[in-house]
Structure 1
Amino acid sequence: MNENIQVLMSTYNGEKYLRNQIDSILSQENVNVSILVRDDGSEDGTLKILEDYESKGQIKLIKGQNCGFIRSFLELIDSSDKSDFYAYADQDDVWMPDKLISGIERLKKEDTSKPLLYCTSLQRVNEDLKPLSVQSYPKLKLSIYSQLVRERLAGCTFVLNKNLRDMLYGSSKLDLEYSHDSWTVLTCWATGGKVVFDNSPHILFRRYGTNTSVDGGGLKKRIKHELRYFGKCRNQRFKAVKKLLDFRADKIEGDNKVILKSIRDYKTSTRATFRLAFNTKLDCGIKMSNFITRIVILFRCF
């Protein structure tokens, strides 16, 4: 029997590529797929396209006011229907036919009583779907410590089980500044779950000038991206950790609670700040990111 999976998609002025994406989701193999779309106040022809699919019974549509993609996805989680599995979708990619079943089959090999998250590498393509390169995350480490240093995994590749969805339910009330995909990964690790990674891409990840996600670039761009924690992302992880500790206090135990509490309390004394900054477990596998993270902590911008 095919597993049930609900795909959560947020749209905003995405008329150009939207039909390609929805059709690729509807064409997924060996799954019973439903699609829940929240439109984030589009001003182009996006709503008309969505209403066409809705009239055919192919999607369920929520017409929302503009609140940004983070809040939009969190509201989708809180509006999601009962299902065995869930997935996030951007509005402009194209999914390979086996994308969802690949994630489901991998997660079914794990302890399904725990929160579980599946993610993959990305086949980067241009606007016309011409292959560019595979984004495969070299030196990737999978742990709560790595996630706290650098958010690397792409939400558009995620498949999550019901237990993880239940851990996330209610997140839209938290007024988060942390991205929905990073929040998903952090919540999974913190509540005793597991993240599994597939090196094979199952998505055509369209890259062009107006994408909202950060991707690619040389050393200069990477350093600029990392230094965002001194500016617009100042205290972002600190705030997210505090909210998570309050939100799921009864589900966070052991070493996960220790590291999260050390972040929550790292500004209380110089000793606490230095202890966190030089915690050797805070390692994402990339020396530059590790170094910048320690500087960010020492300046109490984490």
Structure 2
Amino acid sequence: MEKIDILLATYNGEKYIEAQIYSILAQTLTNWQLIIHDDGSTDGTIEKIREIQKLDNRILIVEDNIICGGAANNFLYLLKSATSDYVIFCDQDDVWFESKLQVLYDSIQSEPEAAAVYCNAYGYNGTHITSNQVSLFERDSLSNSLFLNSGVQGCSLLFNRALIDMLLDFPSFIVMHDHYITMAAISFGKLKYIDLSLMLYRQHDQNVTGNIAVSFSDRIRSFFNRANPIIDRKHYEANKSFYNKFKDKFTLQQQEIFRAYLQFPELSFVQKVSTLLKYNFRMGNNRWILVLKLLFKKTI
């Protein structure tokens, strides 16, 4: 079978890095290499990695003293080091179930074209595991993705070489690595969802890539929080940059959907409702959520 490159971007992860790497070593699928790049940690992260590296020659450390200045840039920097047929991102503080790589690989290995696959997860605070899944939205089109203000959780995504080769010429602005991969898979290939929780997604105050609302009550509070606009400014700019970079590769229908999204903040209330319905813009396959948000939130 083809090899999988696991890309691990680290920064001051001394407290959690061992649990994550040991969960990778325990994977039932064994044909992988773990490529690690540290972003200037000031704790004992690298020392812990070097100790574990002695146990397995599949663990590689990119030591070039380059500071990327954030998780997104670090992951994208690592992407250029990937040489295998499949790639998966890896956060420094999660715990993977032993079947994670095998399940994801089995789902994507027969895909002949650009593709990515992702799974779900359980929230984890170091002591308790949530009884509910993280509840990632299934995304099947641009209409069901542009308004989500996020990409698929990066550490859940496994993607193939055909998609990777499309990604290495980056747009001028990328808000997060997983958002970029998600948009590319939806636009130019296939994005598959496996409704299984195959990892523990750790939640704590020092999360480098951010926490998520796991419980139903958290999601309700987030929904009605007027401080959170319908469209996040940074994701809007990232989507705009993505469109400008790749618009010649889009179908005419995709171009029309993107233009409708980019024009959305300037429309009147009635025009916004009309646009949502015309282009079937949705969140979690529900278009009425966006219509309801128009009543409570600012647009951007």
Q: Pick the TM interval, shorter chain.
A: 0.7 to 0.9
Counterpart mapping for 1:202-213 below 5 A: 202-211=198-207, 212-213=210-211
In structure 1, distance between residues paired with 2:27 and 2:264 = 46
| SS of equivalent to 1:197 | strand
Quote the residue 1:200 is aligned against.
Answer: 196
Counterpart mapping for 1:230-249 below 5 A: 234-249=232-247
In structure 1, distance between residues paired with 2:137 and 2:49 = 40
In structure 1, distance between residues paired with 2:225 and 2:177 = 18
Deviation at 1:208, TM superposition (A): 2.9
In structure 1, distance between residues paired with 2:22 and 2:246 = 37
Quote the residue 1:147 is aligned against.
Answer: 145
Change (3 A) 1:206 1:300: closer
In structure 2, distance between residues paired with 1:182 and 1:139 = 13
Quote the residue 1:103 is aligned against.
Answer: 104
Change (3 A) 1:153 1:293: farther
Deviation at 1:250, TM superposition (A): 3.5
Aligned residues: 290
Deviations 1:164-211 (A, max 9, x none): 21222133x6232x22212211111112x1111111111122233333
Q: Which runs of 5+ in 2 are unaligned?
A: none
Q: Tell me whether 1:175 sits opposite 2:177 in the alignment.
A: no
Q: Which runs of 5+ in 1 are unaligned?
A: none
| SS of equivalent to 2:123 | strand
Change (3 A) 1:136 1:257: same
Quote the residue 1:65 is aligned against.
Answer: 67
Quote the residue 2:182 is aligned against.
Answer: 185
In structure 2, distance between residues paired with 1:37 and 1:293 = 41
| SS of equivalent to 1:228 | coil
Deviation at 1:289, TM superposition (A): 4.3
Deviation at 1:108, TM superposition (A): 2.3
In structure 2, distance between residues paired with 1:300 and 1:168 = 30
1:264 to 245, 254, 262: 262
Counterpart mapping for 1:271-282 below 5 A: 276-282=275-281
Please give the TM-score of this superposition, normalised by the length of structure 1. 0.82
**Greater mean alpha carbon deviation, residues 233-242 or residues 88-97:** 233-242
Quote the residue 1:11 is aligned against.
Answer: 10
| SS of equivalent to 1:42 | coil
The percent of aligned pairs where both chains have the same amino acid is 22
1:215 to 213, 234, 242: 213
| SS of equivalent to 1:198 | strand
Change (3 A) 1:66 1:100: same
Q: Match for 1:70: what amino acid?
A: A
Quote the residue 1:80 is aligned against.
Answer: 81
Quote the residue 1:35 is aligned against.
Answer: 34
In structure 2, distance between residues paired with 1:279 and 1:74 = 35
Determine if contact 2:8/2:90 at 8 Å carries over to the other structure: yes
Determine if contact 1:73/1:180 at 8 Å carries over to the other structure: yes
Quote the residue 2:132 is aligned against.
Answer: 134
Deviation at 1:28, TM superposition (A): 2.0
Quote the residue 2:253 is aligned against.
Answer: 255
Q: Match for 2:130: what amino acid?
A: L
**Greater mean alpha carbon deviation, residues 263-272 or residues 100-109:** 263-272
In structure 2, distance between residues paired with 1:15 and 1:134 = 28
In structure 1, distance between residues paired with 2:202 and 2:126 = 6
Deviation at 1:264, TM superposition (A): 3.5
In structure 2, distance between residues paired with 1:83 and 1:138 = 27
Change (3 A) 1:132 1:275: closer
In structure 2, distance between residues paired with 1:10 and 1:138 = 22
Please give the TM-score of this superposition, normalised by the length of structure 2. 0.83
Deviation at 1:254, TM superposition (A): 3.6
Deviation at 1:279, TM superposition (A): 3.5
Q: CA RMSD in A?
A: 3.0
